[in-house]
């Protein structure tokens, strides 16, 4: 069984989320630097908003509006500029050819996951997807990965998971699954990635030698 994260891994959507966050924060004369934004990659939108509204001491009553604006903006940006990672067809065909069950476990809402699967042309080969949006816990909690494994009728120790963020990596390891980390090239030397079972520069680099490690 193989389970994929989505944002930053299958599509280069993190710039969309960052742009949408700053467009929304402009209402309050606030802005996130790249370093600031990176700290909260992998969180659900509501947790993201809660974190930065508390950081900037912004009114709690505005958080629902900000969350809605970000989600609307990101959806439109993905439709206009999908930015699909070039290795997506390769990695999904790789596992399909080897008869793996394939899942997606994402912090994004279900409608965005479905949109991305359509844009990536992988809807027909994804056996199950799970959104952490409505769950009690989001990443770095393992719930979204455990529920995806359950939908795929797989034991956690049978799962290989692909992630690109620190919060996602922690979620995978907490679920007792194997983690393949594909970080942004700007952060590929981050020592925190040592917790992953394997670190590669691109999905295109994963091959049978890597698979046999597990």
| 12 catalytic per annotation | no
Sheet of 198-199: strand order equals 128-131, 102-106, 2-4, 160-163, 178-181, 198-199
Q: 10 Å Cβ neighbour count for 194?
A: 8
Among residues 5, 12, 164, 208, which one is catalytic? 5
| 164 catalytic per annotation | no
Checking 43-46 for CB contacts under 8 A at 24+ apart, the result is 43/107, 43/138, 43/139, 43/167, 44/107, 44/132, 44/133, 44/138, 44/139, 45/70, 45/71, 45/107, 45/108, 45/109, 45/133, 46/133
Among residues 7, 12, 164, 208, which one is catalytic? 7
Residue 162 · residue 106 · CB < 8 Å: no
Both tokens of 134, joined, read 């409505």
Catalytic residues: 5, 7
């Amino acid at each position: 069984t193989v389970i994929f994260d989505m944002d930053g891994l299958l599509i280069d959507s993190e710039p969309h989320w960052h742009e949408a966050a700053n467009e929304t924060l402009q209402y309050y004369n606030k802005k996130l630097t790249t370093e600031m934004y990176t700290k909260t990659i992998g969180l659900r939108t509501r947790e993201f908003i809660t974190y930065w509204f508390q950081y900037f001491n912004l009114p709690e009553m505005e958080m629902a509006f900000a969350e809605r604006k970000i989600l609307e903006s990101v959806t439109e940006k993905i439709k206009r500029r999908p930015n699909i990672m070039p290795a997506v067809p390769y990695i999904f065909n790789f596992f399909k050819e080897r008869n793996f069950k394939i899942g997606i476990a994402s912090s994004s809402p279900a409608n965005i996951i479905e949109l991305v699967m359509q844009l990536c042309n992988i809807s027909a080969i994804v056996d199950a997807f799970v959104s952490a949006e409505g769950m009690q816990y989001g990443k770095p909690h393992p719930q979204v990965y455990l529920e995806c494994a359950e939908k795929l009728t797989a034991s956690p120790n049978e799962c290989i998971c692909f992630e690109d963020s620190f919060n996602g990596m922690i979620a995978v390891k907490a679920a007792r699954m194997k983690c393949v980390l594909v970080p942004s090239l700007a952060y590929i030397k981050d020592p925190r990635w040592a917790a992953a079972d394997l670190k590669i520069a691109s999905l295109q680099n994963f091959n049978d030698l890597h698979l046999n490690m597990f």
